[in-house]
């Protein structure tokens, strides 16, 4: 089983004849593959508003992802259950905010203020009263002048906010504005060498840091990016990832050509967001080579093991995940893996009678396509217990209800073809996180138990082998 994220370009192309083979492969194996979508897909889709094929794209998206939304909550990226059609209708109601109109936005707060207090107008006057002098040598610089356009000679804090907001609005709305800004940076010497496109993902970030030092910037790549955040102690992983992606694009590492009509920095930002959201999945399928290169470089730096696949390679790469398993394979695989010293990641020796000896194995491949870690408890006097879980990777940091249901169905089908009494009610309890309910199979010399872990409430498979 794999959680899979497709970028919008792939979703949109699935309706084409040349993608029919991939489309049928993915749709026919929804019992093995779990597809998700994110708000970024709708950032892309909303830019196609009015396109007669938009409805077909939305139907294609829904046919794969069902209601599996990957989005932000207070706890970070989390699982939500929302149909794409419902999310689309909500997005259509959103009203875009122009930062250059910050003063007007403040004034609009007056209507929300109690008893005629006019909070917005008062804030606006305060911002106007605070001087924010900027040397003309900075404003006359072509690069900085583009960031702070239309500045008066003696600017206030409100002038600076609205000027910077105008830059942000232009760079988001005007097709060539970002490309011109990027060209200005390159003309000032901040452009990577011509062969940067040949750097491997593992060396790319280090090479960029070396380039910065050669330009007199005594900062690593990450240190340079961190300087853009006022409060560096509270920078989220998402903000850092997206900022580094944009910086790579600005410096010329597989920069987006923005060749489509109307393309702005939003296209680059969407790619960065797709790459980040896909990092909570096992696979990221994208046909954008420039996105692929930047995503792989950042995945290497952030220690993310998401597999990035081109649409042309996806079917072959995922073939192993649709193979059939049985109980014979299950025990054969365990016998090969357990005891291998080279995959032991932790070894614990008991310190008292209430403690246990155990070894933790990082399996060479997912057992049954699900379990990536095995914990071996070996008590010579009683029994051997092997606990299999989904590991600690990003793609299993949280599970959708439908993912848990898929795990229960797959494991039950692999272990035994015999019907299980009250199976649907047991599955429902496990899906809801009940750790007291389990499925038990009696085998020669022991038993196999599928249940939720008492602590994580995620499915675990327990093999208990009695001592003879």
Six token digits for residue 64: 């794969």
| 296 close to 244: Cβ distance less than 8 angstroms | no
The model's pTM:
0.85
- Helix-, strand-, coil-residue percentages of the chain, each rounded to 5: 50, 15, 35
Which regions of the chain are under pLDDT 70?
48-50, 95-149, 157-158, 160-168, 354, 380, 468
Reduced 3-state DSSP string for 20-47: HHHHHHHHCCCCCEEEEECHHHHHHHHC
Q: What is the pLDDT of residue 131?
A: 66
d(CA 362, CA 343): 6
Nearest to 412 by CA among 449, 363, 365, 374: 449
Distance of CA 157 to the CA centre of its chain: 36
DSSP state of 369: T
Residues in the chain: 468
Q: What is the pLDDT of residue 156?
A: 73
Specify the DSSP element, H or E, that contains 290.
Answer: helix 289-302
Nearest to 398 by CA among 459, 439, 450, 454: 459
Specify the DSSP element, H or E, that contains 429.
Answer: helix 423-431
CA separation (Å) from 83 to 3, 41, 47, 58, 179? Answer: 18, 13, 20, 10, 36
Q: What is the pLDDT of residue 361?
A: 94
pLDDT tens-digit profile of 355-402? 778 899 999 988 888 999 999 987 767 789 999 999 888 999 999 999
d(CA 467, CA 158): 77
Residue 152 main-chain phi, psi, to 5 deg: -70, 170
Q: What is the pLDDT of residue 331?
A: 87
Q: What is the pLDDT of residue 119?
A: 54
Instruction: For residue 27, give every residue at least 6 positions away whose Cβ sits within 8 Å of its Cβ, in sequence order, or none.
Output: 63, 64
Q: What is the pLDDT of residue 135?
A: 63
In the chain, where the domains are located = 1-95+193-320, 97-173, 324-466
Residue found by looking up tokens 């848990």 in the block: 404
| 408 close to 459: Cβ distance less than 8 angstroms | yes
Q: What is the pLDDT of residue 293?
A: 97
Please report how many Cα atoms fall inside a 13 Å half-sphere around the Cα of residue 267, on the Cβ side: 23
């Amino acid at each position: 089983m794999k959680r899979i994220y497709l970028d919008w370009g792939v979703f949109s192309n699935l309706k084409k004849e040349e993608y029919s083979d991939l489309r049928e492969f993915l749709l026919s194996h929804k019992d093995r593959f779990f597809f998700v979508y994110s708000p970024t897909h709708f950032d892309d889709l909303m830019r196609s508003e009015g396109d007669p094929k938009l409805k077909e794209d939305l139907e294609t998206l829904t046919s794969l992802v069902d209601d599996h939304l990957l989005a932000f909550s207070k706890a970070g990226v989390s699982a939500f259950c929302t149909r794409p059609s419902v999310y689309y209708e909500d997005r259509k109601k959103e009203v875009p905010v122009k930062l250059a109109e910050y003063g007007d936005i403040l004034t609009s707060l007056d209507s929300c203020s109690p008893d005629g207090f006019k909070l917005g107008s008062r804030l606006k006057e305060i911002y106007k009263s605070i001087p924010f002098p900027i040397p003309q040598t900075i404003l006359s610089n072509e690069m900085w002048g583009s960031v702070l356009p239309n500045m008066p000679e003696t600017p206030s804090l409100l002038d600076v906010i609205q000027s910077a907001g105008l830059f942000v609005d232009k760079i988001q709305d005007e097709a060539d504005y970002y490309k011109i800004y990027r060209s200005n940076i390159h003309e000032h010497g901040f452009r990577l060498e011509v062969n940067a496109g040949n750097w491997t993902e593992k060396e790319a970030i280090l090479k960029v840091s070396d380039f910065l030092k050669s330009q007199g910037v005594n900062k690593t790549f990450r240190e340079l990016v961190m300087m853009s955040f006022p409060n560096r102690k509270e920078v989220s992983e998402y903000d850092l990832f997206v900022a580094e992606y944009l910086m790579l694009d600005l410096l010329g590492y597989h920069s987006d050509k923005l060749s489509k009509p109307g393309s702005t920095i939003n296209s680059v930002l969407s790619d960065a967001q797709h790459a980040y959201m896909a990092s909570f999945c096992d696979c990221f399928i994208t046909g954008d080579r420039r996105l692929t290169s930047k995503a792989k470089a950042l995945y290497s730096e952030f220690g993310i093991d998401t597999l990035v696949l081109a649409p042309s390679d996806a079917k072959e790469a995922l073939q192993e995940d649709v193979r059939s398993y049985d109980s014979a394979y299950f025990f054969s695989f365990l016998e090969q893996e357990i005891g291998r010293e080279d995959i032991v990641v932790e070894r614990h020796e008991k310190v008292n009678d209430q403690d246990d000896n155990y070894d933790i194995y990082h399996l060479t491949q997912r057992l049954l396509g699900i379990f990536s870690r095995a914990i071996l408890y070996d008590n010579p006097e009683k029994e051997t217990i092997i606990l299999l879980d989904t590991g600690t990777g990003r793609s299993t940091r949280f599970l959708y209800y439908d993912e848990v249901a898929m795990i229960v169905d797959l494991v039950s089908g692999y272990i035994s073809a015999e019907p299980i009494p009250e199976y649907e009610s047991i599955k429902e309890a496990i899906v809801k996180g009940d750790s007291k309910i389990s499925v038990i199979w009696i085998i020669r010399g022991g038993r196999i138990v599928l249940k939720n872990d008492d602590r994580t409430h995620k499915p675990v498979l327990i093999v208990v082998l009695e001592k003879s």
